[in-house]
Structure 1
Amino acid sequence: MSSIKDPCIGVCKFADDVCLGCGRTKREVKAWKSLDKDEKRAVVAESALRLLALQATGRRKKK
């Protein structure tokens, strides 16, 4: 299985500690490189829900 790609899209604008580009918290962004695959999957799933809650539109294209 391939590694989980960093979800950063280069927007990096934060509202209430959540990036409007990728949906991750500042803590998750800093910890990304040290997370294992399962933790990264969880972060990506949670960040997608945060973006929906914020109604942000900065996500990268779907596969």
Structure 2
Amino acid sequence: MAKRIDSPCVSICRLKGGLCVGCGRTTEEITRWPSMKRPERMKTHQRAAQRLKKLKKD
């Protein structure tokens, strides 16, 4: 298991409905990322991936 969890940012920073269309994170999650602990980052990654799937379906 990796110790470090990298940001899901893919440098497509465009917001649509409060979500980044590049990484699927909310503006709050993007802002808080640097101060998040590992478990919170893992959950954020999971939620962001689910959001991206939904965005791509729409």
TM-score by length of 1: 0.84
3-state DSSP of counterpart to 2:49:
helix
Structure having the higher helix fraction is 2
Q: Please state if 1:51 is matched with 2:41.
A: no
Distance 1:41 1:3 in 2: 10
1:9 is matched with 10
Structure 1 gaps, min length 5: 57-63
Superposition RMSD on alpha carbons, in Å?
Answer: 1.2
TM-score by length of 2: 0.91
Q: CA deviation at 1:2?
A: 1.8
Choose between structure 1 and 2 for higher RCO, CA contacts under 8 A separated by at least 6 residues: 1
Counterpart amino acid of residue 53 in structure 1: K
Structure 1 vs Structure 2: percent identity of aligned residues?
32
How many residues of Structure 1 are paired with residues of Structure 2 in the alignment? Answer: 56
Structure 2 gaps, min length 5: none
